[in-house]
Amino acid sequence: MRTVKIILEYDGTGFNGWQIQAQPNRTVQGEIDSALKRIFKENVRCIGSGRTDSGVHALEQVAHFKVTTRMRAEEIQKALNSILPDDISVLNVEFARASFHAQFKAKRKTYQYVILNRTTASALERNRCWHIPQKLSLTSMRREARALIGRKDFRSFMASDPAGGSKEKNTIRRITRLDIRKKGDLILIEIEANGFLYKMVRNIVGTLVDVGLKRSPQGLIKELLHRKSRIFAGKTAPGQGLFLVNVGY
């Protein structure tokens, strides 16, 4: 039995998230598992570094599976890419130690959220950004974002998980970097942490947008962290603007 580590990118537009579901919804994991079954003639479960929601994209998602095979890594990569749909691409395949686990061995993750901040929407990039026509104050957003850096209880930024168990989760996480920069008409928010709660990045972005639109008072983020309640934070930013950039081990 060999442990196979894969790195893949996908356009999340046509998927109901990463995780395979009981109902017949199209998921990234479902497509990969189906391709693996065709290649190895048996049921093989691919485990990702974490779930991405409906519409969320990945530049470098990491996953692994275990299988008995004599195929070389490059042969597995070629076989997968010949079967997988066009909105998923396997960038790299390698054999890992038996103890490797894409989810449990992950030390950090980096996400980027893309906001199109101009009057007119984009016909071409509508599935890869959140269009906000009103001018955003990056100065206000950056000032408030500083309160998120470090080891904090992010319960206020955790959505209720439909899979259950959210109340029992450890909601302490460490954000090591949060950058907000402007690139033309785009505002890019990049967050690196040792892990993320359910919809944590999207809830942080939604709250920072309220700050940027001057809808929220100064000191909001500190107050939210203190209150530890989701009901006081901003709305959840839409999934299509979010990208999983990479995963560190």
Catalytic-labelled residue, pool 11, 33, 53, 185: 53
Strands (E), 117-171: 130-131, 150-153
> Which tokens in the block code for residue 83?
């079967």
Residue 236 and residue 202 in contact, taking contact as beta carbons nearer than 8 Å = yes
Residues 6+ apart with CB under 8 A from 35: 79, 80, 83, 84
CB 63 within 8 A of CB 102: yes
Alpha-carbon distance of 236 to 166, in angstroms, equals 17
**Residue 53 annotated as catalytic:** yes
Catalytic amino acids? 53
